[in-house]
Chains A and B, each alone.
Chain A
């Protein structure tokens, strides 16, 4: 029985996607059609409607609109520029420094703005111009920008980790946030090493050194934005407030700061609120329909069927983790990150926890894995934005991108096989 459901679910979903029905609606329609196999039309429609509404009824999810809003406000204040200046003074006189600047700024900006797409577009447009003046190959810059923009999704605060916490049935957000630091920075480091190989080969120009005084100045200018990370993460880890409350504080803090520095006028607020509601609504509909799909799958015993076939291959933890990673890489190529997390966490998490993997560790593995999908055609949103802001074409970028893909996959293997890298920090803080 469950095999018929799986076939109907997958076929209807893939067909809808292929003809261009938006992903969020495709998820809802495919769940509705699958449920119709075993349940009458009336109750099916009511159940899907109810699952959509209750799927959003979560206090933890509220952090998503608030972090989006805080990021939107900060963006108005030109935070990208300040973080780039700071990263520049850190990279100093190194040859090819602009590539390192891009990675460091992406890690900082992605963490604060919480969106890989926003990081790729803001940093790509500012740094792309500088790189062009200094004679960097456009495609190389785009490849670095695209891949490094995803690090901000692992480095906290991160909305996708909140989604994972929801999908996993309540893994601690504080633990996930703290766990993201080392793997996120590790990936940034791996990307910089890859960039270094190119820099040597292409003999790229050195950056300008800065005096200690200038460094102090740029640090002071970036300080209020960095303080936000301290307040948010410190507050959550210290148990002062929940992730959702921290995100609301982040909104008030950034708003106060932008008004104080006169970078934002009160009358601009409605348009910022609308822009962030739109961004949020896109994610929220994905969550609502993914939650109904996840519910339909478990009511049709689909996760159990997948578990059985996976465990029939092997019950060795390393083999299973590699298998799951391969499946997720494939999924990530075709599916957006949010539905992938919501649909596949309930399927894979029980298998791996039974084999002894920590749920926090698995969350970081999963997000890291799906980050790679953001940089691949045909649906990689970050890839398209990165290519667009660099003013080049997909075909030209693919070449230089490949080494960075390989670097990310190697990084993913290390993160998967070395739980200590992820779990050392949250354990140190006593969060798990």
Chain B
């Protein structure tokens, strides 16, 4: 699982979903304007649907960007270090992010899904169970964890060589 071909395939699936979400969001909001002005019949679901798609885009996109190592960081300290101590620091950073993804996004997220499912909370207009929407948290959390492990193994390989 830590090989490159698996990561490439996973990246394709995630990036494909992001492209689809983004395109659907644009169509959705455009439909909202059209339905109001052209068809004189304002649609009721578009507002809610696009908000939930934004939550999904944000969480899934955050995981994808973590996999590309593109989140903004202050790299003054890592850039000053070289060789093994640099690799140690990079691994530490990966472990900290992994810890957050596991405890908050995966465990906290699963608990959130569970609570909203038990309470039967539903969205206001479309009546979608909120639990479904929150599932993106543990899913993205797992992706972040995978990407951190992938990066750790790369750093470790560099550390050994």
The chain A residues found within 8 Å of chain B, CB to CB, are 16-25, 28-29, 32, 41-42, 44-50, 52-53, 56-59, 61-62, 65-66, 69, 241, 244-245, 247-249, 251-252, 270, 273-274, 276-278, 280-282, 284-288, 336, 378-379, 381
Contact of B58 among A29, A50, A244, A288 (CB under 8 A): A288
Contact of A62 among B50, B61, B62 (CB under 8 A): B50
On whether the beta carbons of B100 and A32 are closer than 8 Å, the reply is yes
| A288-B115 contact in complex given A32-B100, A245-B32, C-beta closer than 8 Å | no
Whether B96 pairs with A16 at a CB distance below 8 angstroms is yes
Most A Cβ at <10 Å: residue of B55, B73, B74: B74
| Residue pair A274, B18 in contact (C-beta under 8 Å) | yes
- The answer to whether B71 touches A22, judged by C-beta atoms less than 8 angstroms apart, is yes
The reply on B51 being an interface residue by CB < 8 A is yes
Closest chain-B Cβ to A404's Cβ sits at a distance in Å of: 24
> Which single member of A19, A42, A277 contacts B22 (CB below 8 Å)?
A277
Nearest B residue to A255, CB-CB: B26
**In the assembled complex, B142 has its CB within 8 A of some CB on chain A:** no
Q: Say yes or no for B149: interface residue by CB 8 A criterion.
A: no
Contact with A along B66-103 (1 / 0, CB 8 A): 10101111111110000000000110110011011001
Residues of B within 8 A of A245 (CB): 29, 32-33
Q: Check B65 against A282 for contact (C-beta < 8 Å).
A: yes
Shortest C-beta distance, A24 to chain B (Å), equals 6
Q: A283 vs B55: C-alpha distance in the bound complex, in angstroms?
A: 12
Docked Cα-Cα span, A19 to B93, in Å, equals 7
| Distance of A296 from chain B, by nearest CB (Å) | 12
Does B73 lie within 8 Å of A22, measured CB to CB?
yes
Tell me, rounded to whole Å, the shortest Cβ–Cβ distance linking B101 to chain A.
Answer: 9
- How distant is A118 from chain B, measured CB to nearest CB, in Å? 15
In the assembled complex, which residues on chain B have CB atoms less than 8 Å from the CB atom of A252? 26, 30
CA–CA, A311 to B1, complex, Å?
A: 57
Whether a CB of chain A sits under 8 angstroms from the CB of B139 is no
**Could you give 10 example pairs across A and B, Cβ below 8 Å?**
A18-B74, A22-B71, A25-B97, A46-B112, A53-B55, A56-B55, A280-B22, A280-B61, A282-B65, A378-B76
Closest to A281 in B: B61
Q: Contacts A62-B29, A241-B33 hold; do A25 and B137 have CB atoms under 8 A apart?
A: no
Q: How far is the CB of A156 from chain B (nearest CB, A)?
A: 19
B19 touches A248 (CB 8 A): no
Residues of A within 8 A of B22 (CB): 65, 69, 273-274, 276-277, 280
CB distance from A353 to the nearest CB of B (A): 28
Closest chain-A Cβ to B63's Cβ sits at a distance in Å of 8
Q: Determine if B19 and A270 form an interchain contact, defined as CB atoms under 8 angstroms apart.
A: yes
When the two chains form the complex, which single residue of A45, A248, A274 contacts B103, counting CB atoms closer than 8 Å? A45
9 cross-chain pairs, A with B, having the tightest CB-CB distances, nearest first = A281-B61, A45-B108, A284-B58, A22-B71, A49-B108, A248-B29, A285-B62, A277-B18, A22-B73
Q: A57-B51, A65-B54, A65-B57 are in contact. Are A278 and B70 (CB under 8 A)?
A: yes
Report B's interface with A, CB cutoff 8 A: 15, 18-19, 21-23, 25-26, 29-30, 32-33, 47, 50-52, 54-55, 57-62, 64-66, 68, 70-78, 89-90, 92-93, 96-97, 99-100, 103-105, 107-109, 111-112, 115, 133-134, 136-137
What is the minimal beta-carbon distance from B136 to any residue of chain A, in angstroms? 8
CB atoms of A62 and B74 under 8 A apart? no
The answer to whether B105 touches A49, judged by C-beta atoms less than 8 angstroms apart, is yes
Q: Which of A20, A25, A247: most chain B CB closer than 10 A? A: A20
Known: A247-B29, A274-B18. 12 other contacts (CB 8 A): A19-B78, A21-B96, A44-B108, A45-B107, A48-B108, A49-B111, A52-B59, A59-B51, A274-B22, A278-B18, A278-B65, A281-B18
Chain A: minimal CB distance from B117 (Å): 13
* Docked CA distance A48–B66 (Å): 19
Residue of A25, A61, A270, A379 with most partner-chain B CB within 10 A: A25
Q: Which residues of B contact A22 (CB under 8 A)?
A: 66, 71-73, 97
CB contact between A23 and one of B19, B26, B58, B73 (< 8 Å): that residue: B73
Quote the shortest CB–CB distance from A364 to chain B (angstroms).
24
Q: Cα distance A282–B19 when bound, in Å?
A: 15
B residues in contact with A276, CB < 8 Å: 22
**Complex alpha-carbon distance, A378 and B80, angstroms:** 14
**Is B62 touching A24 in the complex (CB atoms < 8 A)?**
yes
Q: Report the Cα distance A20→B29, complex, angstroms.
A: 38
Cα–Cα, bound, A24→B70 (Å): 11
A278 x B68 contact (CB < 8 A): yes
Chain B residues near A248 (CB-CB < 8 A):
26, 29-30, 32-33
Cβ-defined contact, A274 with B97, below 8 A: no
B54 and A378 within 8 A (CB): no
Are B73 and A277 neighbours in the complex by a CB distance under 8 Å? no
How far apart are the CA atoms of A52 and B66 in the complex, in Å?
16
Contact of A28 with B104 at beta-carbon distance under 8 Å, contacts A59-B50, A245-B29 already known: yes
Contact pick for B111, options A46, A52, A277, CB 8 Å: A46
B55 touches A20 (CB 8 A): no
CA distance A378 to B133 in the complex (A): 38
List the B side residues contacting A47 at CB < 8 Å.
108
* With A59-B50, A65-B54, A278-B61 as contacts: A379 and B74 at CB distance below 8 Å: yes
